């Protein structure tokens, strides 16, 4: 009987010791998770013919009027409601003025450079488009408000710039799959972009000359 009592005492002591050690272990909360993002297949539709430019954009998106206070005619937003993302499209007429074209290039470059403080990588590259035009494509990495931008021109009449923005506060690392998805859409937009050379010049001349 004494042997049994001793075994029970030892077993109880071991159980108490294990419980005490377990209670003293430091608790680490699980890292915050993010909802799985379901990305639809890429399907496109044509932009209405009421602009001095044409392109194809995603069927997941809506065309909205640019909502900024400096908005000009023919500035639009290609808005993705399900992703809370927007391609901001800004347009400027050149009307054969090389000084105006130079100003638009400088403004586009300056707008990209504003992200340098938060970007740990900014890569610029020339992309040859199917119609022979060249586009400047800029990819930015880091916690920047815009992760992908481009600008292009026909050098004589039209200048167009696009920039991707998210309205959500989610970190860019978590948005990486969506960003890559939208890059494909932006490149499709670029590769289908055409400027309307017959668009009435009197309408373009009346657009206020405000920085992009």
Q: Per-residue pLDDT tens for 6-59?
A: 544 455 545 544 444 444 444 344 444 445 567 999 999 999 999 999 999 999
Sign of the four-CA dihedral 136, 158, 128, 84: positive
Q: Report yes or no on 193 lying in a domain.
A: yes
Domain region containing 134: 44-205
Q: Which residues contact 116 (CB under 8 A, 6 or more apart)?
A: 122
Q: Report yes or no on 29 lying in a domain.
A: no
pLDDT of residue 17: 47
Q: Report yes or no on 3 lying in a domain.
A: no
Going by C-alpha positions, the residue among 76, 58, 77 that lies closest to residue 184 is 58
Q: Per-residue pLDDT tens for 61-120?
A: 999 999 888 889 999 999 999 999 999 999 999 999 999 999 999 999 998 888 776 777
Q: Report yes or no on 12 lying in a domain.
A: no
Residues in the chain, overall count:
212
Q: Per-residue pLDDT tens for 137-179?
A: 998 887 788 889 999 999 999 999 999 998 765 566 678 899 9
- The three-point CA angle 149-79-117 to 5° equals 35
Name the domain count of the chain: 1
Q: Report yes or no on 33 lying in a domain.
A: no
Q: Report yes or no on 37 lying in a domain.
A: no
202 confidence band (pLDDT: 50, 70, 90): confident
Per DSSP, the three-state class of 4 is helix
Whichever domain contains 161, its CATH number is: 3.40.1000
Q: Report yes or no on 9 lying in a domain.
A: no
Provide the whole-model pTM. 0.78
Q: Report yes or no on 62 lying in a domain.
A: yes
Contact 207/93 with Cβ under 8 angstroms? yes
């Amino acid at each position: 009987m004494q042997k049994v009592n001793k075994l029970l005492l030892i077993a109880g002591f071991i159980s108490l010791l294990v419980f005490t050690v377990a209670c003293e272990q430091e608790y680490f909360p699980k890292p915050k998770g993010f909802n799985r993002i379901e990305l639809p297949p890429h399907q496109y539709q044509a932009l209405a013919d009421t602009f001095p430019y044409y392109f194809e954009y995603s069927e997941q998106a809506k065309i909205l009027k640019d909502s900024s206070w400096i908005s000009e005619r023919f500035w639009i937003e290609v808005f993705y409601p399900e992703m809370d993302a927007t391609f901001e499209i800004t347009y400027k007429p050149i009307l054969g003025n090389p000084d105006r074209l130079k100003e638009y290039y400088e403004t586009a470059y300056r707008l990209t450079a504003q992200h340098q403080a938060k970007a740990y990588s900014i890569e610029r590259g020339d992309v040859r488009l199917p119609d022979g035009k060249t586009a400047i494509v800029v990819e930015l990495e880091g916690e920047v408000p815009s992760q992908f931008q481009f600008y292009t021109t026909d050098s004589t009449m039209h200048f167009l710039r696009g920039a991707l923005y998210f309205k959500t506060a989610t970190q860019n690392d978590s948005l990486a799959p969506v960003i890559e998805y939208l890059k494909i859409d932006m490149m499709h937009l670029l590769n289908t972009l055409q400027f309307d050379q017959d668009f009435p010049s009197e309408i373009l001349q009346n657009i206020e000359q405000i920085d992009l």
